[in-house]
Amino acid sequence: MASYRYERNISPEDLVPEKTRELTPAEARANWWHYHWYYVVLIAAAVLAVGYFVWSRVTEVKPDYTVAVVGRIDPDAAFLSEVETKLEAAADDVNGDGKVKVNVKSIWLALDYDGQDSSLRKLMESSEDKLNSDFYLCESMIFIVDDPAAMEQRYGCFRLLDGTDPQEGDSLSVSDFAVLLDDPAKGLIVEHNMWREMIWQQENSVLCVAADSYYEAEDYIRDYDEFLKTVQAKG
């Protein structure tokens, strides 16, 4: 309880609650903005980001063809643009969007980089990862390479299912290079020492594998060079 010496100087007017003054519309808006401007900026930025994403997706021209230029010389942007222009003049509108679009990308890769210095070897290994990703995702429909024989020897990417290399003038289709498992009635027997890659062409696809043992990741060879060495060692 407060003592008398603290209470005696308090006037009755001091005990009357102060009346709140109603803000004018301009003052109310200014007060609201002072406490909410941060949320307004965040919402506006989110709306702009979503709008830009939707606009870019709607106006995006998907390429009819993707071409990879693989070689020991890294071409400049002018060369790639010129290749795109010439290919577009001869290409068809495959996706039916009314436009012919060819996307040409460069993969700078010297296939004999193993004996080079460490800095160049790391750069080439990065390019090789890019090429392997292209193979796995089936991004490029056409490859322009400066040494097809060396590329075939290293990756086996141009070999037909029967193990032979395609010859100039051959009329080929996808079935010459891959087995399309698009029906549950189809199956494929994979023997020992057989290199294969699984490419998923549709989302939510399911592949049923029947094996004589449980899956162990270390039982599989995922590097083609290592696979070749293993096969050659077994004779």
- The distance between the two most distant Cα atoms of the chain, rounded to a whole number of Å, is 113
Query: 86 and 121: one domain?
Result: yes
Domain annotation covers residue 130: yes
Query: 115 and 55: one domain?
Result: no
Identify the domain boundary among 59, 80, 110.
59
How confident is the model at residue 43, as a pLDDT? 94
Q: Where are the alpha helices (DSSP H) in 24-173?
A: 25-59, 77-90, 118-137, 148-155
3-state secondary structure of 69: strand
Query: 127 and 28: one domain?
Result: no
Say how far apart CA 152 and CA 139 lie, in whole Å: 18
Domain annotation covers residue 10: no
Query: 31 and 92: one domain?
Result: no
Q: Which residues of 116-141 are buried (b: 16+ CB within 10 A; e: fewer)?
A: eeeeeeeebeebbebbbebbeeeebe
Query: 46 and 94: one domain?
Result: no
Say how far apart CA 130 and CA 122 lie, in whole Å: 13
Query: 131 and 192: one domain?
Result: yes
140 within 8 A of 133, measured Cβ to Cβ: no
How confident is the model at residue 177, as a pLDDT? 65
Domain annotation covers residue 8: no
The domain in which residue 37 lies consists of 24-59
How confident is the model at residue 10, as a pLDDT? 67
Tens place of pLDDT per residue across the chain (235 aa): 555 545 556 666 666 677 777 878 888 888 889 888 999 999 999 999 999 999 887 777 788 888 998 888 888 888 889 989 999 998 888 888 888 899 999 988 876 666 667 777 788 888 888 888 887 777 888 888 888 777 777 777 777 766 677 777 777 666 666 777 778 888 888 777 777 777 766 677 788 888 888 888 888 887 777 777 787 787 6
- Torsion sign across C-alpha atoms 213, 218, 221, 227: negative
* Total number of domains in the chain: 2
Query: 48 and 112: one domain?
Result: no
How confident is the model at residue 108, as a pLDDT? 85
Say how far apart CA 173 and CA 213 lie, in whole Å: 35
66 beta partners: 103
Query: 212 and 114: one domain?
Result: yes
Tokens of 174: 């996808």
156 within 8 A of 195, measured Cβ to Cβ: yes
184 within 8 A of 205, measured Cβ to Cβ: no
How confident is the model at residue 181, as a pLDDT? 79
Query: 84 and 104: one domain?
Result: yes
